[in-house]
A and B are shown apart, each in its own frame.
Chain A
Amino acid sequence: MNDFKLITFLTSNIDIDKHSIEALIENCKLLKVDKGSFLLRQGEICKYSFYVEQGLLRYYSIDEKGKEHILQFAPETWFVADRESVYFNQPSHYFIQALEDSSVILLDENFITQLAQKNTSFLQFNNKLLHNHIRHLQNRINQLLSATAEERYLDFIKIYPNLLLRVPQSMVASYLGITPESLSRVRKDLAAKNFKR
Protein backbone atom coordinates (compact mmCIF):
# COMPACT_ATOMS: atom_id res chain seq x y z
CA MET A 1 0.00 0.00 0.00
CA ASN A 2 2.67 2.48 1.03
CA ASP A 3 4.53 2.00 -2.18
CA PHE A 4 1.97 3.48 -4.55
CA LYS A 5 3.46 6.22 -6.67
CA LEU A 6 0.04 7.90 -6.82
CA ILE A 7 0.07 8.37 -3.03
CA THR A 8 3.51 9.95 -3.15
CA PHE A 9 2.39 12.17 -6.01
CA LEU A 10 -0.72 13.39 -4.21
CA THR A 11 0.81 13.84 -0.75
CA SER A 12 3.73 15.78 -2.17
CA ASN A 13 1.43 18.13 -4.11
CA ILE A 14 -1.56 18.75 -1.88
CA ASP A 15 -1.82 19.25 1.82
CA ILE A 16 -3.34 15.93 2.76
CA ASP A 17 -2.19 13.18 5.05
CA LYS A 18 -1.20 9.82 3.72
CA HIS A 19 -3.91 7.91 5.59
CA SER A 20 -6.79 9.87 4.05
CA ILE A 21 -5.40 9.19 0.59
CA GLU A 22 -4.85 5.55 1.38
CA ALA A 23 -8.44 5.21 2.54
CA LEU A 24 -9.65 6.68 -0.75
CA ILE A 25 -7.33 4.65 -2.92
CA GLU A 26 -8.48 1.46 -1.24
CA ASN A 27 -11.79 1.96 -3.04
CA CYS A 28 -10.07 2.24 -6.42
CA LYS A 29 -9.23 -0.66 -8.64
CA LEU A 30 -5.63 -1.57 -9.38
CA LEU A 31 -5.49 -3.26 -12.74
CA LYS A 32 -2.62 -5.49 -13.79
CA VAL A 33 -2.56 -5.81 -17.55
CA ASP A 34 -0.36 -7.80 -19.89
CA LYS A 35 1.52 -6.22 -22.74
CA GLY A 36 -0.84 -5.76 -25.66
CA SER A 37 -4.08 -5.57 -23.62
CA PHE A 38 -6.57 -2.78 -24.23
CA LEU A 39 -7.90 -0.50 -21.51
CA LEU A 40 -10.11 1.33 -23.97
CA ARG A 41 -11.28 0.55 -27.50
CA GLN A 42 -12.82 2.83 -30.10
CA GLY A 43 -16.60 2.96 -29.62
CA GLU A 44 -16.46 2.22 -25.88
CA ILE A 45 -17.11 4.80 -23.20
CA CYS A 46 -14.02 5.62 -21.14
CA LYS A 47 -15.11 5.32 -17.52
CA TYR A 48 -11.81 6.03 -15.82
CA SER A 49 -8.73 8.14 -15.79
CA PHE A 50 -5.76 5.81 -15.72
CA TYR A 51 -2.74 6.44 -13.51
CA VAL A 52 0.25 4.31 -14.49
CA GLU A 53 2.01 2.85 -11.45
CA GLN A 54 4.23 0.65 -13.52
CA GLY A 55 4.66 -0.08 -17.21
CA LEU A 56 3.67 1.89 -20.25
CA LEU A 57 0.42 2.73 -22.09
CA ARG A 58 -0.26 4.39 -25.39
CA TYR A 59 -3.28 6.48 -26.37
CA TYR A 60 -3.94 6.41 -30.10
CA SER A 61 -6.37 6.50 -32.98
CA ILE A 62 -6.58 4.46 -36.17
CA ASP A 63 -7.51 6.26 -39.39
CA GLU A 64 -9.61 4.95 -42.26
CA LYS A 65 -6.55 3.54 -43.99
CA GLY A 66 -5.67 1.61 -40.88
CA LYS A 67 -2.76 3.83 -39.90
CA GLU A 68 -2.11 4.43 -36.22
CA HIS A 69 -1.59 7.90 -34.75
CA ILE A 70 -0.24 8.11 -31.23
CA LEU A 71 -1.50 11.08 -29.22
CA GLN A 72 0.25 10.26 -25.98
CA PHE A 73 2.50 7.77 -24.25
CA ALA A 74 1.87 7.19 -20.56
CA PRO A 75 4.84 5.71 -18.71
CA GLU A 76 5.06 5.42 -14.90
CA THR A 77 3.50 8.35 -12.97
CA TRP A 78 1.55 9.61 -15.99
CA PHE A 79 -2.22 9.99 -16.23
CA VAL A 80 -4.05 9.10 -19.40
CA ALA A 81 -7.75 9.19 -20.29
CA ASP A 82 -10.05 10.06 -23.13
CA ARG A 83 -11.35 13.13 -21.36
CA GLU A 84 -13.98 13.73 -24.01
CA SER A 85 -15.44 10.30 -23.40
CA VAL A 86 -15.11 10.46 -19.60
CA TYR A 87 -16.52 13.96 -19.18
CA PHE A 88 -19.18 14.02 -21.92
CA ASN A 89 -19.97 10.33 -21.62
CA GLN A 90 -19.50 9.79 -25.36
CA PRO A 91 -18.18 6.77 -27.23
CA SER A 92 -14.46 7.11 -27.67
CA HIS A 93 -12.60 7.65 -30.93
CA TYR A 94 -9.46 6.24 -29.38
CA PHE A 95 -7.66 3.20 -28.08
CA ILE A 96 -5.59 2.87 -24.90
CA GLN A 97 -3.25 -0.09 -24.95
CA ALA A 98 -0.51 -1.46 -22.69
CA LEU A 99 2.88 -1.56 -24.43
CA GLU A 100 4.46 -3.38 -21.49
CA ASP A 101 3.05 -5.47 -18.64
CA SER A 102 1.60 -2.67 -16.53
CA SER A 103 -0.16 -1.83 -13.26
CA VAL A 104 -2.69 0.91 -13.56
CA ILE A 105 -4.91 2.61 -10.97
CA LEU A 106 -8.43 3.28 -12.23
CA LEU A 107 -9.71 6.65 -11.02
CA ASP A 108 -13.37 7.51 -11.39
CA GLU A 109 -15.48 10.62 -10.71
CA ASN A 110 -16.18 9.31 -7.24
CA PHE A 111 -12.51 9.44 -6.30
CA ILE A 112 -12.20 13.02 -7.53
CA THR A 113 -15.38 14.13 -5.72
CA GLN A 114 -14.39 12.52 -2.44
CA LEU A 115 -10.88 13.87 -2.60
CA ALA A 116 -12.27 17.34 -3.28
CA GLN A 117 -14.60 17.02 -0.29
CA LYS A 118 -11.79 15.99 2.01
CA ASN A 119 -9.43 18.61 0.80
CA THR A 120 -10.33 21.86 -0.88
CA SER A 121 -6.80 22.48 -2.09
CA PHE A 122 -7.19 19.41 -4.28
CA LEU A 123 -9.59 21.24 -6.61
CA GLN A 124 -7.02 23.95 -7.09
CA PHE A 125 -4.35 21.35 -7.78
CA ASN A 126 -6.61 19.43 -10.16
CA ASN A 127 -7.24 22.69 -11.98
CA LYS A 128 -3.51 23.18 -12.33
CA LEU A 129 -3.12 19.65 -13.69
CA LEU A 130 -5.83 20.31 -16.23
CA HIS A 131 -4.15 23.52 -17.39
CA ASN A 132 -0.83 21.74 -17.57
CA HIS A 133 -2.49 19.20 -19.79
CA ILE A 134 -3.96 21.93 -21.99
CA ARG A 135 -0.54 23.56 -22.24
CA HIS A 136 0.95 20.21 -23.29
CA LEU A 137 -1.76 19.71 -25.94
CA GLN A 138 -1.35 23.26 -27.29
CA ASN A 139 2.35 22.70 -27.57
CA ARG A 140 1.69 19.42 -29.42
CA ILE A 141 -0.66 21.11 -31.89
CA ASN A 142 1.76 23.96 -32.50
CA GLN A 143 4.66 21.59 -33.05
CA LEU A 144 2.72 19.39 -35.44
CA LEU A 145 1.79 22.50 -37.44
CA SER A 146 5.08 24.33 -37.41
CA ALA A 147 8.12 22.52 -36.02
CA THR A 148 10.78 20.63 -37.96
CA ALA A 149 11.19 16.89 -37.41
CA GLU A 150 14.35 17.53 -35.39
CA GLU A 151 12.63 20.07 -33.13
CA ARG A 152 9.79 17.63 -32.50
CA TYR A 153 12.26 14.86 -31.74
CA LEU A 154 14.28 17.02 -29.31
CA ASP A 155 11.08 17.95 -27.51
CA PHE A 156 10.04 14.29 -27.38
CA ILE A 157 13.26 13.16 -25.66
CA LYS A 158 12.88 15.95 -23.12
CA ILE A 159 9.38 14.80 -22.21
CA TYR A 160 10.10 11.07 -22.45
CA PRO A 161 13.83 10.53 -21.72
CA ASN A 162 13.74 6.72 -21.68
CA LEU A 163 11.03 5.84 -24.20
CA LEU A 164 13.30 5.41 -27.17
CA LEU A 165 14.57 2.26 -25.50
CA ARG A 166 11.09 0.98 -24.70
CA VAL A 167 9.05 1.42 -27.86
CA PRO A 168 9.71 0.66 -31.53
CA GLN A 169 10.91 3.64 -33.55
CA SER A 170 7.82 3.39 -35.74
CA MET A 171 5.71 4.36 -32.70
CA VAL A 172 7.96 7.31 -31.90
CA ALA A 173 7.59 8.41 -35.54
CA SER A 174 3.81 8.02 -35.26
CA TYR A 175 3.78 10.24 -32.14
CA LEU A 176 5.91 12.84 -33.90
CA GLY A 177 3.78 12.79 -37.05
CA ILE A 178 6.72 11.92 -39.26
CA THR A 179 7.71 8.81 -41.22
CA PRO A 180 10.04 6.26 -39.61
CA GLU A 181 12.52 7.15 -42.38
CA SER A 182 12.62 10.81 -41.35
CA LEU A 183 13.05 9.80 -37.71
CA SER A 184 16.07 7.68 -38.77
CA ARG A 185 17.44 10.67 -40.68
CA VAL A 186 17.01 12.99 -37.69
CA ARG A 187 18.78 10.54 -35.40
CA LYS A 188 21.56 9.96 -37.92
CA ASP A 189 22.11 13.73 -38.32
CA LEU A 190 22.20 14.20 -34.55
CA ALA A 191 24.74 11.38 -34.21
CA ALA A 192 26.89 12.97 -36.93
CA LYS A 193 26.84 16.21 -34.91
CA ASN A 194 27.25 14.75 -31.44
CA PHE A 195 29.20 11.49 -31.74
CA LYS A 196 32.81 12.10 -30.82
CA ARG A 197 35.39 9.47 -30.16
Chain B
Amino acid sequence: MHRLAVIANFTVENFNTMAIKNVELVMSPRAPHYVGDGFRVHNFIPGGYRLDMQRMNPFIMLDYNSKFYFTPSDKPRGVSVHPHRGFETVTIAYKGRVAHQDSSGGGGVIAEGDVQWMTAASGVLHKEYHEENWSKEGGDFQMVQLWVNLPAKDKMSNPKYQALSNKQINRYTLENNSGEIEVIAGQYKNVQGSASTFTPVHLLNAKLNKEAKTDFSFPPQYNTAALVVEGSVIINETEEVPADHFVLFENDGETFTVKAQENSIVLILSGESINEPIAAHGPFVMNTNAELMQAFDDYNKGKFGYLE
Protein backbone atom coordinates (compact mmCIF):
# COMPACT_ATOMS: atom_id res chain seq x y z
CA MET B 1 0.00 0.00 0.00
CA HIS B 2 2.64 2.42 1.14
CA ARG B 3 4.79 1.78 -1.90
CA LEU B 4 1.93 2.22 -4.36
CA ALA B 5 1.01 5.55 -2.83
CA VAL B 6 4.54 6.79 -3.32
CA ILE B 7 4.55 5.83 -6.95
CA ALA B 8 1.24 7.59 -7.54
CA ASN B 9 2.57 10.66 -5.80
CA PHE B 10 5.67 10.72 -7.95
CA THR B 11 3.65 10.33 -11.15
CA VAL B 12 1.40 13.26 -10.27
CA GLU B 13 4.35 15.51 -9.51
CA ASN B 14 6.03 14.52 -12.73
CA PHE B 15 2.88 15.28 -14.67
CA ASN B 16 2.61 18.73 -13.11
CA THR B 17 6.08 19.83 -14.06
CA MET B 18 6.08 18.34 -17.54
CA ALA B 19 2.44 18.67 -18.61
CA ILE B 20 1.96 17.52 -22.17
CA LYS B 21 1.09 20.07 -24.80
CA ASN B 22 -1.56 18.25 -26.79
CA VAL B 23 -2.23 18.44 -30.48
CA GLU B 24 -5.43 20.36 -31.22
CA LEU B 25 -5.45 19.93 -34.97
CA VAL B 26 -3.44 18.44 -37.83
CA MET B 27 -4.16 20.29 -41.02
CA SER B 28 -3.49 19.12 -44.57
CA PRO B 29 -2.30 21.78 -47.03
CA ARG B 30 -5.07 23.66 -48.78
CA ALA B 31 -5.15 24.12 -52.57
CA PRO B 32 -2.19 26.27 -53.55
CA HIS B 33 -2.44 29.74 -55.03
CA TYR B 34 0.18 31.96 -56.60
CA VAL B 35 1.64 35.05 -54.97
CA GLY B 36 2.89 36.98 -57.98
CA ASP B 37 4.10 34.30 -60.38
CA GLY B 38 7.00 33.04 -58.29
CA PHE B 39 5.49 31.67 -55.09
CA ARG B 40 3.08 28.76 -55.24
CA VAL B 41 1.81 28.68 -51.69
CA HIS B 42 -0.54 26.88 -49.36
CA ASN B 43 -1.89 29.37 -46.85
CA PHE B 44 -2.19 28.03 -43.29
CA ILE B 45 -2.55 31.27 -41.32
CA PRO B 46 -4.92 33.12 -41.27
CA GLY B 47 -7.08 31.31 -43.81
CA GLY B 48 -7.05 27.91 -42.29
CA TYR B 49 -9.59 26.26 -40.10
CA ARG B 50 -9.27 27.88 -36.61
CA LEU B 51 -5.96 29.51 -37.53
CA ASP B 52 -7.11 33.13 -37.59
CA MET B 53 -4.78 36.00 -36.71
CA GLN B 54 -5.81 36.26 -33.07
CA ARG B 55 -5.67 32.50 -32.50
CA MET B 56 -2.10 32.35 -33.80
CA ASN B 57 -0.95 35.81 -32.69
CA PRO B 58 1.90 36.88 -32.96
CA PHE B 59 2.06 34.62 -36.06
CA ILE B 60 -0.46 36.40 -38.24
CA MET B 61 0.29 34.89 -41.64
CA LEU B 62 2.00 31.76 -42.86
CA ASP B 63 2.32 30.89 -46.52
CA TYR B 64 4.11 27.67 -47.40
CA ASN B 65 5.56 27.03 -50.83
CA SER B 66 5.76 23.24 -50.69
CA LYS B 67 8.52 21.75 -52.82
CA PHE B 68 7.69 22.71 -56.39
CA TYR B 69 9.74 22.48 -59.56
CA PHE B 70 10.00 25.77 -61.45
CA THR B 71 11.09 25.41 -65.07
CA PRO B 72 14.09 27.50 -66.20
CA SER B 73 13.16 31.11 -66.97
CA ASP B 74 15.31 33.98 -68.25
CA LYS B 75 12.86 36.40 -66.73
CA PRO B 76 12.87 35.73 -62.97
CA ARG B 77 9.45 34.98 -61.50
CA GLY B 78 8.37 36.66 -58.31
CA VAL B 79 6.33 39.40 -56.70
CA SER B 80 6.55 42.99 -57.91
CA VAL B 81 6.81 46.06 -55.69
CA HIS B 82 4.49 46.03 -52.67
CA PRO B 83 4.42 47.68 -49.24
CA HIS B 84 4.25 46.30 -45.70
CA ARG B 85 3.52 48.06 -42.42
CA GLY B 86 2.95 47.02 -38.83
CA PHE B 87 4.73 43.66 -38.63
CA GLU B 88 7.81 41.63 -39.57
CA THR B 89 8.21 39.24 -42.49
CA VAL B 90 10.32 36.15 -42.02
CA THR B 91 11.41 34.24 -45.11
CA ILE B 92 12.89 30.79 -44.61
CA ALA B 93 14.46 29.27 -47.70
CA TYR B 94 14.54 25.46 -47.81
CA LYS B 95 15.15 25.13 -51.57
CA GLY B 96 15.93 27.74 -54.19
CA ARG B 97 17.14 31.33 -53.98
CA VAL B 98 15.26 34.60 -53.67
CA ALA B 99 16.61 38.04 -54.47
CA HIS B 100 14.97 41.03 -52.81
CA GLN B 101 15.23 44.80 -53.06
CA ASP B 102 13.64 47.60 -51.06
CA SER B 103 12.91 51.29 -51.27
CA SER B 104 15.71 52.31 -48.89
CA GLY B 105 18.29 50.85 -51.27
CA GLY B 106 18.74 47.58 -49.36
CA GLY B 107 18.72 44.20 -51.03
CA GLY B 108 20.27 40.77 -51.04
CA VAL B 109 19.85 37.10 -51.78
CA ILE B 110 18.21 34.55 -49.50
CA ALA B 111 19.87 31.25 -50.35
CA GLU B 112 19.08 27.68 -49.34
CA GLY B 113 19.10 27.38 -45.55
CA ASP B 114 19.11 31.15 -44.97
CA VAL B 115 16.55 33.18 -43.12
CA GLN B 116 15.63 36.78 -43.71
CA TRP B 117 13.94 38.57 -40.85
CA MET B 118 12.63 41.90 -42.12
CA THR B 119 11.07 44.34 -39.70
CA ALA B 120 8.71 46.30 -41.95
CA ALA B 121 7.39 48.30 -38.96
CA SER B 122 6.57 51.86 -40.17
CA GLY B 123 6.83 50.76 -43.75
CA VAL B 124 8.90 49.40 -46.59
CA LEU B 125 8.34 48.89 -50.27
CA HIS B 126 9.99 45.80 -51.58
CA LYS B 127 10.00 43.17 -54.28
CA GLU B 128 11.04 39.54 -54.23
CA TYR B 129 12.10 37.47 -57.24
CA HIS B 130 13.76 34.15 -57.90
CA GLU B 131 17.47 34.95 -58.00
CA GLU B 132 18.52 35.46 -61.63
CA ASN B 133 20.99 32.60 -62.04
CA TRP B 134 18.80 30.20 -60.11
CA SER B 135 15.86 31.21 -62.29
CA LYS B 136 17.85 30.49 -65.47
CA GLU B 137 18.54 26.96 -64.30
CA GLY B 138 15.19 26.33 -62.63
CA GLY B 139 14.77 23.73 -59.93
CA ASP B 140 12.97 22.77 -56.76
CA PHE B 141 11.71 25.73 -54.78
CA GLN B 142 10.53 25.48 -51.19
CA MET B 143 10.02 28.37 -48.79
CA VAL B 144 8.04 29.59 -45.82
CA GLN B 145 6.94 33.15 -45.43
CA LEU B 146 5.76 34.07 -41.98
CA TRP B 147 4.44 37.38 -40.71
CA VAL B 148 5.18 38.17 -37.07
CA ASN B 149 2.97 40.81 -35.49
CA LEU B 150 4.43 43.85 -33.73
CA PRO B 151 2.97 45.41 -30.58
CA ALA B 152 1.36 48.86 -31.03
CA LYS B 153 4.35 50.64 -29.53
CA ASP B 154 6.69 49.19 -32.18
CA LYS B 155 4.46 49.24 -35.26
CA MET B 156 5.81 52.62 -36.38
CA SER B 157 9.46 52.00 -35.46
CA ASN B 158 12.17 52.13 -38.13
CA PRO B 159 12.39 49.26 -40.60
CA LYS B 160 15.41 46.95 -40.39
CA TYR B 161 16.75 43.65 -41.68
CA GLN B 162 18.34 40.69 -40.03
CA ALA B 163 19.89 38.62 -42.81
CA LEU B 164 20.86 35.27 -41.29
CA SER B 165 22.97 33.07 -43.50
CA ASN B 166 22.67 29.40 -42.64
CA LYS B 167 26.13 29.40 -41.05
CA GLN B 168 25.19 32.25 -38.70
CA ILE B 169 22.18 30.44 -37.26
CA ASN B 170 22.92 29.02 -33.82
CA ARG B 171 22.34 25.29 -33.43
CA TYR B 172 21.74 22.72 -30.78
CA THR B 173 23.15 19.30 -31.63
CA LEU B 174 21.07 16.36 -30.53
CA GLU B 175 22.51 13.32 -28.73
CA ASN B 176 24.35 10.77 -30.85
CA ASN B 177 24.39 13.23 -33.73
CA SER B 178 20.80 12.30 -34.46
CA GLY B 179 20.05 15.74 -35.73
CA GLU B 180 20.18 19.43 -34.91
CA ILE B 181 17.87 22.24 -33.98
CA GLU B 182 18.52 25.54 -35.76
CA VAL B 183 17.50 28.24 -33.35
CA ILE B 184 16.34 31.06 -35.64
CA ALA B 185 14.82 33.03 -32.76
CA GLY B 186 14.05 32.52 -29.09
CA GLN B 187 15.72 29.62 -27.37
CA TYR B 188 16.15 25.87 -27.50
CA LYS B 189 17.58 24.25 -24.33
CA ASN B 190 20.75 26.27 -23.70
CA VAL B 191 21.08 27.75 -27.20
CA GLN B 192 19.92 31.31 -27.87
CA GLY B 193 18.29 32.26 -31.16
CA SER B 194 20.15 34.27 -33.77
CA ALA B 195 17.44 36.82 -34.56
CA SER B 196 16.22 39.43 -32.11
CA THR B 197 12.47 39.81 -31.66
CA PHE B 198 10.15 42.47 -30.20
CA THR B 199 8.01 40.05 -28.18
CA PRO B 200 8.76 36.50 -26.99
CA VAL B 201 8.97 34.32 -30.11
CA HIS B 202 10.58 30.91 -30.61
CA LEU B 203 11.26 29.85 -34.17
CA LEU B 204 13.13 26.58 -34.65
CA ASN B 205 14.09 24.38 -37.56
CA ALA B 206 14.31 20.84 -36.24
CA LYS B 207 16.39 18.70 -38.60
CA LEU B 208 15.98 15.15 -37.37
CA ASN B 209 17.52 11.97 -38.67
CA LYS B 210 15.35 8.89 -38.96
CA GLU B 211 14.32 7.58 -35.49
CA ALA B 212 15.62 10.72 -33.74
CA LYS B 213 13.37 11.94 -30.97
CA THR B 214 13.44 15.18 -29.05
CA ASP B 215 11.19 17.36 -26.94
CA PHE B 216 10.14 20.99 -26.95
CA SER B 217 8.82 23.06 -24.06
CA PHE B 218 7.00 26.36 -24.22
CA PRO B 219 4.72 28.13 -21.74
CA PRO B 220 1.14 26.79 -21.97
CA GLN B 221 -0.42 30.09 -23.08
CA TYR B 222 2.00 30.58 -25.99
CA ASN B 223 0.40 29.97 -29.38
CA THR B 224 2.31 27.01 -30.75
CA ALA B 225 2.40 25.21 -34.08
CA ALA B 226 4.63 23.06 -36.27
CA LEU B 227 4.97 22.58 -40.01
CA VAL B 228 6.45 19.37 -41.35
CA VAL B 229 8.59 20.58 -44.23
CA GLU B 230 10.29 17.28 -45.03
CA GLY B 231 9.79 13.66 -44.02
CA SER B 232 7.21 12.48 -41.54
CA VAL B 233 7.03 12.66 -37.74
CA ILE B 234 5.10 11.36 -34.76
CA ILE B 235 4.11 13.89 -32.13
CA ASN B 236 3.56 12.92 -28.50
CA GLU B 237 3.97 9.26 -29.54
CA THR B 238 0.47 9.24 -31.02
CA GLU B 239 -0.11 11.80 -33.73
CA GLU B 240 1.39 10.94 -37.09
CA VAL B 241 2.08 14.00 -39.24
CA PRO B 242 3.18 13.64 -42.86
CA ALA B 243 5.11 16.19 -44.94
CA ASP B 244 3.48 19.54 -45.74
CA HIS B 245 1.04 19.19 -42.84
CA PHE B 246 0.54 21.78 -40.14
CA VAL B 247 0.07 21.01 -36.46
CA LEU B 248 -1.72 23.32 -34.06
CA PHE B 249 -1.17 22.73 -30.34
CA GLU B 250 -3.65 23.37 -27.56
CA ASN B 251 -2.85 26.16 -25.12
CA ASP B 252 -2.64 23.78 -22.20
CA GLY B 253 0.54 21.88 -21.41
CA GLU B 254 4.16 22.78 -21.97
CA THR B 255 5.99 19.88 -23.53
CA PHE B 256 5.61 17.83 -26.66
CA THR B 257 7.84 15.29 -28.34
CA VAL B 258 8.70 14.91 -31.99
CA LYS B 259 9.99 11.65 -33.40
CA ALA B 260 11.18 11.35 -36.97
CA GLN B 261 9.93 8.36 -38.97
CA GLU B 262 12.40 9.24 -41.70
CA ASN B 263 14.90 12.07 -42.14
CA SER B 264 12.70 15.06 -41.42
CA ILE B 265 12.62 18.84 -41.12
CA VAL B 266 10.03 20.46 -38.88
CA LEU B 267 9.55 24.19 -38.43
CA ILE B 268 8.41 24.94 -34.90
CA LEU B 269 6.72 28.19 -33.92
CA SER B 270 5.74 29.34 -30.45
CA GLY B 271 5.07 32.85 -29.25
CA GLU B 272 3.35 34.92 -26.64
CA SER B 273 0.14 36.45 -27.97
CA ILE B 274 0.13 40.21 -28.34
CA ASN B 275 -3.00 41.15 -26.50
CA GLU B 276 -4.18 43.99 -28.74
CA PRO B 277 -6.85 44.43 -31.41
CA ILE B 278 -5.88 43.61 -35.00
CA ALA B 279 -7.02 45.63 -38.02
CA ALA B 280 -5.63 44.03 -41.16
CA HIS B 281 -6.06 44.70 -44.85
CA GLY B 282 -3.78 43.30 -47.53
CA PRO B 283 -0.18 44.15 -46.68
CA PHE B 284 -0.94 46.27 -43.59
CA VAL B 285 -1.58 44.95 -40.09
CA MET B 286 -2.43 47.64 -37.56
CA ASN B 287 -4.57 48.02 -34.43
CA THR B 288 -7.40 50.25 -35.72
CA ASN B 289 -9.18 50.98 -38.99
CA ALA B 290 -8.05 54.60 -38.85
CA GLU B 291 -4.44 53.38 -38.82
CA LEU B 292 -5.21 51.17 -41.82
CA MET B 293 -6.67 54.10 -43.75
CA GLN B 294 -3.58 56.10 -42.84
CA ALA B 295 -1.38 53.28 -44.17
CA PHE B 296 -3.18 53.29 -47.53
CA ASP B 297 -2.95 57.07 -47.72
CA ASP B 298 0.74 57.10 -46.84
CA TYR B 299 1.42 54.42 -49.42
CA ASN B 300 -0.57 56.24 -52.11
CA LYS B 301 1.27 59.48 -51.38
CA GLY B 302 4.75 58.01 -51.59
CA LYS B 303 5.52 58.07 -47.88
CA PHE B 304 6.89 54.52 -48.15
CA GLY B 305 9.37 55.76 -50.75
CA TYR B 306 9.66 54.65 -54.34
CA LEU B 307 10.82 51.49 -56.04
CA GLU B 308 10.55 50.60 -59.75
A residues in contact (CB < 8 Å) with B: 157, 161-162, 164-166, 184, 187-197
**A-B contacts besides A190-B301, A195-B302, 8 pairs, CB < 8 Å:** A161-B293, A161-B300, A187-B306, A191-B305, A192-B306, A195-B303, A197-B104, A197-B158
- A195-B306 in contact (CB<8A): yes
Chain B nearest Cβ from A100, distance in angstroms? 12
Give Cα A192–Cα B103 distance, bound, in whole angstroms.
12
Contact A193 to B302, CB < 8 A, known contacts A162-B281, A165-B82, A184-B308:
yes
Distance, CA A184 to CA B307, complexed state (A)? 10
- Of B158, B301, B308, which one neighbours A157 at CB under 8 angstroms? B301
Instruction: Mark B60-97 against chain A: 1 for CB-CB distance below 8 A, else 0.
Output: 00000000000000000000001100000000000000
A-B contact count (CB 8 A): 49
Q: Nearest Cβ distance between residue A182 and chain B, in whole angstroms? A: 14
Residues of A within 8 A of B188 (CB): none
Q: A161-B293, A161-B300, A165-B82 are in contact. Are A195 and B308 (CB under 8 A)?
A: no
B158 to chain A, nearest CB (A): 7
Cβ–Cβ < 8 Å partners of A194 in chain B: 301-303
Q: Which residue of B lies closest to A162 (CB)?
A: B296
- Report the Cα distance A165→B303, complex, angstroms: 15
Cα distance A162–B281 when bound, in Å? 9
Bound-state CA distance A187–B282 (Å) is 20
B299 within 8 Å of A (CB atoms): yes
Which A residues are CB-close (under 8 A) to B301?
A: 157, 190, 194
Q: Contact between B158 and A164 (Cβ–Cβ < 8 Å)?
A: no
Q: Can you show 21 pairs from A to B with CB atoms below 8 A apart?
A: A161-B300, A164-B299, A164-B300, A165-B82, A165-B83, A165-B296, A188-B302, A190-B301, A191-B103, A191-B302, A191-B303, A191-B305, A191-B306, A192-B306, A194-B301, A194-B302, A195-B103, A195-B302, A195-B303, A196-B303, A197-B104
Q: Which of A162, A190, A192 contacts B282 (CB 8 A)?
A: A162
Cβ-neighbour of B283 out of A165, A195, A196 (below 8 A): A165
Chain B positions 253 through 290: 1 when the CB is less than 8 Å from some CB of chain A, otherwise 0: 00000000000000000000000000001110000000
Give every chain A residue within 8 A of B296 (Cβ-Cβ): 161-162, 165
Which residue of the partner chain A has the closest CB to B298?
A194
B304 touches which of A161, A184, A195 (Cβ 8 Å): A195
What chain B residues lie within 8 Å of A164 (beta carbons)?
299-300
**Is B306 in contact with A188, judged by CB distance below 8 angstroms?**
yes
| Interface residues of chain A: helix, strand, loop or mixed (majority) | helix
- Nearest Cβ on chain B to A188's Cβ, whole angstroms: 5
Q: Which residues of B contact A (CB under 8 A)?
A: 82-83, 103-104, 158, 281-283, 293, 296-297, 299-306, 308
B158 and A190 within 8 A (CB): no
Is there an interface contact between B305 and A195, defined as CB atoms closer than 8 Å? yes
Q: How far is the CB of A149 from chain B (nearest CB, A)?
A: 14
Chain A residues near B299 (CB, 8 Å)? 164-165
Name the A residues within 8 Å of B283 (CB-CB). 165
Task: Give the CA-CA distance A49 to B21 in the complex, in Å.
Answer: 55
- B76 to chain A minimum Cβ distance, whole angstroms, is 18
Residue in A closest to B282 when the chains form the complex, CB atoms: A165
How many Å from the CB of B285 to the closest CB on chain A? 14
Closest to A190 in B: B302
Contacts of B103 in A (CB 8 A): 191, 195
A187–B301 CA distance with the chains assembled, in angstroms: 7
Residues of A contacting B302 with CB < 8 Å? 187-195
| Distance A194 CA – B158 CA, assembled complex (angstroms) | 16
Q: State in angstroms the CA–CA spacing of A191 and B283 once bound together.
A: 19
Q: Shortest distance in angstroms between A195's beta carbon and chain B's nearest beta carbon?
A: 4
Question: What is the minimal beta-carbon distance from B156 to any residue of chain A, in angstroms?
Answer: 12
Q: Report the minimal beta-carbon distance from A99 to chain B, rounded to whole angstroms.
A: 14
B151 CB to closest chain A CB, in angstroms? Answer: 21
Q: How far is the CA of A191 from the CA of B305 in the complex (A)?
A: 5
A101 to nearest B CB, angstroms? 11
A153 to chain B, nearest CB (A): 8
- Asked if B104 and A157 sit within 8 Å, CB to CB, the answer is no
- The smallest beta-carbon distance between B118 and chain A, in angstroms, is 15
Shortest Cβ gap from A42 to chain B (Å): 29
* A195 contact set on B, CB distance < 8 A: 103, 302-306
The closest CB in chain A to the CB of B82 belongs to: A165
Min distance, Cβ B62 to any Cβ of chain A, angstroms: 21
